[in-house]
């Protein structure tokens, strides 16, 4: 029996991984996105791209940590520029209770004193008396990783169409003649009633006055934030988590919080150049866990709800969907034939 053609709609990190995994497995794949340049306009482009399953366990359910470890492995096997230097978690002296709480909620770390922290990150020496180091975690430079995936999709033999907007009739016709894998994020909300938007904002700064080898999370009771080194003196500072679907420009308050976090980590960031300020709206289900839903006809698979875990779980969801297509039956806990919660 011939394989159905697969049309993946949406070229964010989830759609890119879906297309790549299916194409490399020998399936016919057509990737379509409404934006002429999805790498610059999708919600994925605003992500921190930290592959940090153990750190995420502080606020996420265990399923994110457990399958996130598989996602980390798949990224390391696929993307040659992933940086595996671990993650650091620090807190100001007045917020040391937050660091203790973070340690209770997570695993896979070693506790550092000030001297050990200085050994890992010399530019943070003397600024914090203790830290948590999660040595197995990794991070990516977001735009570079997305560009790699898109090129890998093309190299794997998939057809790619950008700048083509599909309406409900187009999607129905795709499902009638083949298989639709819907990765449109919030654009799919008419078909996923429990999906909501969560606003996230981030800034990109540049300075040669400080060097970091790994992401650093600065804990705070109200707005814990992180700084991710992107190389060449650039850093991504993020990200707010606001229960809002407003996709407008960054607010002054958020900008102050993000820049204040960078300055609190090290005063040298005060002289950094502001390269970009941006905001995006992430799709999320009520439990904030990304999932795949298979329609009863099995011709439509909706993969959505990335929230903060899109980069971490995108390869896992892609493998789960591929296994479903090849073998039938939603045997993976992140894929089901009922609507995602």
CA atoms within 13 A on the CB side of 122: 3
With a CB cutoff of 8 Å and minimum separation 6, the contacts of 119 are none
Count how many domains the chain has. Answer: 2
CATH code of 207's domain: 3.30.9.10
Q: Looking at the domain assignment, is residue 242 inside a domain?
A: yes
pTM for this entry = 0.96
Do 277 and 153 lie in one domain? The reply is no
With a CB cutoff of 8 Å and minimum separation 6, the contacts of 61 are 287, 288, 289
Residues 323, 22 contacting (CB under 8 angstroms) = no
Q: pLDDT, tens digit, for every residue of 9-64?
A: 999 999 999 999 999 999 999 999 999 999 988 999 999 999 999 999 999 999 99
Average pLDDT value for residue range 96-124: 96
Q: Looking at the domain assignment, is residue 239 inside a domain?
A: yes
Point out the domain boundary residue: 268, 284, 300.
284
Q: 188: domain range?
A: 6-47+142-194+286-336
Average pLDDT value for residue range 209-226: 90
Average pLDDT value for residue range 101-111: 96
pLDDT of residue 40: 87
Report the mean per-residue pLDDT for the chain: 95
Q: Output the CA torsion sign for 20, 34, 336, 107.
A: positive
156: pLDDT strictly greater than 50 = yes
What is the percentage of the chain residues whose pLDDT exceeds 90?
91
Do 190 and 204 lie in one domain? The reply is no
Do 219 and 106 lie in one domain? The reply is yes
Q: pLDDT, tens digit, for every residue of 260-294?
A: 999 999 999 999 999 999 999 999 999 999 999 99
Q: Flag the least confident range among 183-187, 293-297, 307-311.
A: 293-297
pLDDT of residue 330: 79
Do 216 and 112 lie in one domain? The reply is yes
Q: Output the CA torsion sign for 174, 33, 145, 157.
A: positive
Do 128 and 206 lie in one domain? The reply is yes
pLDDT level of residue 239 (50, 70, 90 thresholds): confident
pLDDT of residue 341: 43
Q: Looking at the domain assignment, is residue 280 inside a domain?
A: yes
Do 112 and 216 lie in one domain? The reply is yes
Do 258 and 156 lie in one domain? The reply is no
pLDDT level of residue 2 (50, 70, 90 thresholds): low
Do 204 and 188 lie in one domain? The reply is no
Here the tokens at position 7 are 């049309």
164: pLDDT strictly greater than 70 = yes
Do 169 and 234 lie in one domain? The reply is no
Q: Looking at the domain assignment, is residue 117 inside a domain?
A: yes
Q: Do the strands 87-91 and 225-231 form a parallel or antiparallel pair, or are they unpaired?
A: unpaired
Q: Looking at the domain assignment, is residue 53 inside a domain?
A: no
pLDDT level of residue 221 (50, 70, 90 thresholds): confident
Q: Looking at the domain assignment, is residue 78 inside a domain?
A: no
DSSP track, 48-64: --EE-HHHHTTTS-HHH
pLDDT of residue 74: 98
Q: Looking at the domain assignment, is residue 107 inside a domain?
A: yes
Do 293 and 254 lie in one domain? The reply is no
CATH code of 149's domain: 3.50.50.60
């Amino acid at each position: 029996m011939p394989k159905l053609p697969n049309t993946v709609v949406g070229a964010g990190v989830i759609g890119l991984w879906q297309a790549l995994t299916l194409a490399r497995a020998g399936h016919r794949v057509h990737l379509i996105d409404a934006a002429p340049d999805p790498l610059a306009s999708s919600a994925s482009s605003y992500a921190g791209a930290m592959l940090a399953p153990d750190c995420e366990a502080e606020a996420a359910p265990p399923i994110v940590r457990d399958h996130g470890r598989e996602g980390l492995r798949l990224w390391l096997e696929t993307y040659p520029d992933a940086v595996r230097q671990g993650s650091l978690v620090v807190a100001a002296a007045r917020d040391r209770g937050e660091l203790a709480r973070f340690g209770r909620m997570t695993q896979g770390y070693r506790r550092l004193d000030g001297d050990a922290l200085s050994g890992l990150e010399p530019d943070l020496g003397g600024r914090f008396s203790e830290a948590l180091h999660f040595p197995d975690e990794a991070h990516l430079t977001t735009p570079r990783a997305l560009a790699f995936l898109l090129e890998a999709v093309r190299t794997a033999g998939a057809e790619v169409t950008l700048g083509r907007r599909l309406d409900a009739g187009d999607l129905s016709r795709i499902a009638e003649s083949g298989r639709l894998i819907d990765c449109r994020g919030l654009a799919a909300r008419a078909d996923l009633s429990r999906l909501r938007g969560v606003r996230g904002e981030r800034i990109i700064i540049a300075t040669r006055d400080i060097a970091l080898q790994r992401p650093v999370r600065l804990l705070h009771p109200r707005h814990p934030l992180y700084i991710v080194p992107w190389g060449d003196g650039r850093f991504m500072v993020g990200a707010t988590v606001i229960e809002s679907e407003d996709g407008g420009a960054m607010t002054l308050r958020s900008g102050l919080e993000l820049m204040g976090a960078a300055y609190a980590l090290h005063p040298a960031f005060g002289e950094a150049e502001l390269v970009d300020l941006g905001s995006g709206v992430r799709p999320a289900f009520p439990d904030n866990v990304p999932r795949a839903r298979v329609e009863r006809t099995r011709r439509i698979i909706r993969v959505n709800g990335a929230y903060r875990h899109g980069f971490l779980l995108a390869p896992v969801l892609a493998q789960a969907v591929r296994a479903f297509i090849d073998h039938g039956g939603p045997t993976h806990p992140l894929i089901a034939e009922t609507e995602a919660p």
